[in-house]
Structure 1
Amino acid sequence: MAKLLFGSLAWFSFPSFADNKPLNSPVDYLSVLLSLVVVIALVFMLGYIMRRFNVTQQGGGQMKVVGSMALGTRERILVIQVGEEQHMLGVTAQNINHLAKLDSPLEVAQPSGDNFKDKLTQLMQGQKGKTHD
């Protein structure tokens, strides 16, 4: 398994690794250090992007998040819809509190196609219809 994983990364290997020689010079150590820094930076960058664009798994079941508002760095107010009822929740890092059941429900906005998944689907369907000359 490891041979398959590292074999596929051969195009990104450094000369000291491709020859299976021990690290002898400071340049070899520097290349390893820079590689690790790039990988760690990539992990943090992807984490930031996922947090920034609120990449979460959307449930298609009985519960939906109708709306949310940030109150602080880790505090939010959510309005969720369960069946036909809507409830307001206060969410912190340690707690989730039921604040109120809404008597007059908020309107649930229909997806307008502004999210990435919908745009990608539309683009892919448009590419299928086109023929190359």
Structure 2
Amino acid sequence: MKTRFLHNLSALLVLATVGMPAWAAPADEMNIATTLAALILVVLLILFLAWLLKRMKLPGIQGADGSMKIIRQLPVGQRERIVLLQVGDEQLLVGVTQQNISLLSKLEQPLSMEETQSGGEFAAHLNKLLKKNDKK
């Protein structure tokens, strides 16, 4: 029984090596240019797919489950801004610069979505918080 299996296996191996597929190039025709071109093509395809996934901003890929959202941003310089974040049930006011991110204030009374959609109330609330911090 074992010898018949080994005989059949060796016969299959011989047939597999004899009947090479038509697309397989012989070793002497394979050169460095085609190998390099194929490698560059695969790397470019991987980079393109990574860029595409990043642009699509799928929540499952980036790990965002909806518990943290940017509600509103207010630019205060070329690369500086103040951001209102919704984290669970809390709202945080965060300062973002090119070098760091720092917590400015935690809002005791979270703003409603209507207040954050219109810019006037957000700016007034921000000014009130900034004046409160200046008094300290």
What interval of TM-score do these two structures reach, taking the shorter chain for normalisation? Answer: 0.3 to 0.5
> What TM-score do the two structures reach when normalised by structure 2?
0.43
> What TM-score do the two structures reach when normalised by structure 1?
0.44
